[in-house]
Amino acid sequence: QSADPAMALELLIDGKTSRPGVCNAIETLLVDAAIAPRFLPQALAALAARGVELRGCARTRAWSDAVRPASDDDYAAEFLDLILAVRVVDGLDAALAHIAQYGSDHTEVIATGDAQAAERFVRGTRSAAVMVNASSRFNDGGELGLGA
């Protein structure tokens, strides 16, 4: 809820559109219902303008006609393409539950200005890399100094 919207949008755009066919691209966006009215219209429009196919829950689809219905399989998919699954969730606990059910265990990202929420997120996910206010694209051999 406390994320800087401009930063969150920048992380999202970079994580999905810079190289969509790689394993560290964002495949699912979870948005807290408390910020959905302030964030989703702009984010969905920015993604659609960049050619991203959007698939979302009913709550997400209420914010844009560009969003197609998502299936449960979409939330577990590694699209490796300009396709993004989007879900509105009711708080951090719901986001963590979604990640536990559908996540890939590769990379998770949280955009937040709340240190306690960041700590809960880091401790509450089991992924190989957990990013706080950083692009998913940093989980890469070259970026981590491990080679390509």
Bridge partners for 7 per DSSP: none
Contact call for residues 71 and 40 (beta carbons, < 8 A): no
pLDDT tier for residue 44 given thresholds of 50, 70 and 90: very high
Q: When comparing pLDDT for 141 and 57, which is higher?
A: 57
Give the H or E element holding residue 130: strand 129-132
- pLDDT for 60 equals 98
Q: What is the mean pLDDT of residues 16-30?
A: 93
* Token pair listed for 25: 């691209």
Q: What is the mean pLDDT of residues 104-115?
A: 94
Short-list 113, 108, 96, 95, CA closest to 136: 108
- Domain positions in the chain: 5-135
Bridge partners for 55 per DSSP: 68, 85
Tell me which architecture the domain covering 5-135 has in CATH. Answer: 3-Layer(aba) Sandwich (3.40)
pLDDT tier for residue 143 given thresholds of 50, 70 and 90: low
Q: What is the mean pLDDT of residues 128-142?
A: 85
* CA 80/CA 134 separation, integer angstroms: 20
pLDDT tier for residue 22 given thresholds of 50, 70 and 90: confident
**Conformational region of residue 42, where left means phi above 0, alpha means psi within -120 to 50, and beta covers everything else:** alpha
Burial status of residue 134 (CB atoms within 10 A of its CB: 0-12, 13-18, 19 or more): middle
* Token pair listed for 132: 């706080």
**How far is C-alpha 112 from the geometric centre of its chain's CA atoms?**
13
The reported pTM is 0.93
- pLDDT for 145 equals 60
The answer for residues whose C-beta is within 8 angstroms of residue 41's C-beta and 6 or more apart is 63, 64
Q: What is the mean pLDDT of residues 121-131?
A: 94
* pLDDT at position 116 over 70: yes
